[in-house]
Amino acid sequence: MGTAATVATCALNQWALDFDGNLERIFKSIKIAKSKGARYRLGPELEICGYGCSDHYYESDTLLHSFQVLAKLLESAATRDIICDVGMPVMHRNVRYNCRVIFLNKKILLIRPKITLANAKYYENSNIFVFCQETVPFGDAVLATKDTCLGAEICEELWAPNSPHIEMGLDGVEIFTNSSGSHHVLRKAHTRVDLVNSATAKNGGIYILANQKGCDGDRLYYDGCAMISVNGDTVTYNLTVAAEISRAASKVCPYPRVKVDFALSCSDDVAVPTCMPIQWRHHSPEEEICLGPACWLWDYLRRSKQAGFLLPLSGGIDSSATACIVYSMCHQVCLAVKNGNAEVLADARKIVNDETYVPEDPREFCRRIFTTCYMASENSSQDTCNRAKLLAEQIGSYHINLNIDVAVKAVVGIFSLVTGRSPCFSVYGGSSRENLALQNVQARIRMVLAYLFAQLTLWTRGMPGGLLVLGSSNVDESLRGYLTKYDCSSADINPIGGISKTDLKNFIQYCIENFQLTSLRSIMSAPPTAELEPLVDGQLSQTDEADMGMTYAELSIYGKLRKIAKAGPYSMFCKLISIWKEICTPREVASKVKHFFRMYSINRHKMTTLTPAYHAENYSPDDNRFDLRPFLYNTTWSWQFRCIDKQVFNLERKEGASHVEDVD
């Protein structure tokens, strides 16, 4: 029978460049790990400096302060008699590496850099000076303790087809650790869990994964999901686990071993509980939308030290979904306070500027920190006004109704005064240019007013602070460019900017069922519309899908093929003639694909000004990080479209020949 060891993993809410806060959270996790009897503690990727530092990694300050934090950890009694595995950047031979620094009792055992190529192994002494220690093993090695052997992976090395744990397992490594900075994407969690379990399903062993949690200052939300798997089964996603250790051997090229005069087990391990497999419960996409963006908003709000949010609420699906996410955030805050979370309570009190306040009712808390604003024009319907008002009442937001016509007429009046010309909507005989310009003026006026009210609404209520403006354009509209540059979708942050219209509709239905927000039923049944063109007999004449020339369902397919499948116009056409063969002819598919790429390329420049949005879909067109493509295209796509036309001709000729044969 093997010995039992207790190892600890954690999910830390680190913040880029917050060295004081990051150090405090690391110390806290080590303290908890030791209190549970752990002899090894694993932390998330780059936990010392924070994962989202971006170009700050190139600054010498980031390296300096990371080593200063490491020194604090090394000299502290809190890290005594436990192997600590922390993440930080390290400069080695004038090259910066994303590293794991593993130490025990003031001595660094190994600096293990992130590996990008399977065979690019290196193992040498690095002259990194910490206290009296002059040299440190640097490279791809494993730790050999008195009772077992540990090997390390970093984040996406688990996702690679030739993951290091494969060879390490064959070389006798029994415990695999992964320090991760894995961000949340809808429907991604189950893949991560399956990868961790499969790592030890064949050859046995223990896999420990730590992950970043929360918003660390960027568009990403890290969803935690720290977990431990034993012999292919998840045994916990709490802090610690006890596991029996087995032995293995192989004939592979042996890994360099750093011998450690330390054991993860103790002589008296009878009282250590054995681990049992548990059933992992995955959230549905609707639950993920309800929880992930809400937690992201909370981190952003408390860390920006603002007093709440302001949202232009139109009465449509997108802005209503954004409002529901804020309401979910309020619900989660009240639940955390009820469960005794002192940190959340302290943050809530700072936000509302009341040291005695206790958030108990989500609607009451929502009214304190959330302002919604319906900005009517002569083109707005009473239906959307009523829907926005009713939703605001049900979630409890402080709601404002205002009319923008005076401001719009003033701006258009200035243009007319200068040029002597007055633009008209197309329904009144105006050109398409006039029609679009008049729509854009309304949208941009709304943005200006949103920021004005965000700065001064609390002032008018006798309350301190300002509000963050929330955007509400979805990922599909951004991909198509169906938004005005610098309009009311422009904001400080956007919680739905990475979510498709289809998923938002499902999320709205989820909110109806789980939050009893009955006002959402009429919002769900109404056709999406910008309400920027004149009403006809008091009724809407403008709808989003008619304006775009494509449906939201089609947009989601275009987005996945363009980004995830890496399809250009011709490749997309070839794939869609098969996918849509039951509903479209090749010529119709060609027309749809051409229209999409024309509109995408014409409007691609808008992606450079997108409001920072929660990243939830891998086909996000966000120009900042997730979609590194040009924003100035030849919008005729002449060569690509000729290839499509040629293929359509061949298919139609083949189809025609087939019909002739059938007649004969």
Residues designated catalytic:
45, 114, 155, 314
Rounded distance between C-alpha atoms, residue 108 and residue 105, angstroms = 8
Q: Report the SS3 class of residue 412.
A: helix
Rounded distance between C-alpha atoms, residue 178 and residue 151, angstroms = 9
Instruction: Look at phi and psi of residue 106 and say left if phi exceeds 0, alpha if psi is from -120 to 50, else beta.
Output: left
Rg (alpha carbons) of the chain, rounded to whole number: 29
Q: Report the SS3 class of residue 26.
A: helix
The candidate with the shortest Cα–Cα distance to 508, out of 496, 493, 491, 492, is 496
- Are residues 307 and 279 in contact, defined by beta-carbon separation less than 8 angstroms? no
- Are residues 206 and 175 in contact, defined by beta-carbon separation less than 8 angstroms? yes
In the block, tokens 């009878």 appear at: 270
Helix axes 432-460, 405-419, angle to 10 degrees: 130
Rounded distance between C-alpha atoms, residue 427 and residue 535, angstroms = 10
Q: φ, ψ for residue 223 (rounded to 5)?
A: -95, 20
Q: φ, ψ for residue 588 (rounded to 5)?
A: -65, -40
Q: Report the SS3 class of residue 59.
A: coil
SS in 3 state form for 530-557?
CCCCCCECCECCCCHHHHHCCCHHHHHH
Rounded distance between C-alpha atoms, residue 332 and residue 112, angstroms = 38
Question: Do you know the residue count of the chain?
Answer: 664
Q: What angle do CA 343, 344, 347 make, to 5 degrees?
A: 90
Residue type, 172: G
In terms of Cβ atoms closer than 10 Å to its own Cβ (0-12, 13-18, 19+), residue 382 is exposed
Q: How far is CA 149 from CA 115, 160, 173, 198, 202, in A?
A: 20, 22, 5, 19, 18
Rounded distance between C-alpha atoms, residue 288 and residue 264, angstroms = 37
Percent helix, strand, coil in the chain, to 5, is 45, 20, 40
The candidate with the shortest Cα–Cα distance to 265, out of 525, 37, 592, 104, is 37
Q: Report the SS3 class of residue 597.
A: helix
DSSP alpha helices (H): ranges in 516-637?
520-525, 544-548, 552-559, 569-579, 586-603
- 385 contact partners, CB below 8 Å, separation of at least 6: 315, 374, 376, 401
The token pair that represents 550 in the structure block:
């494509």
Q: How far is CA 107 from CA 40, 83, 364, 612, in A?
A: 14, 10, 52, 42
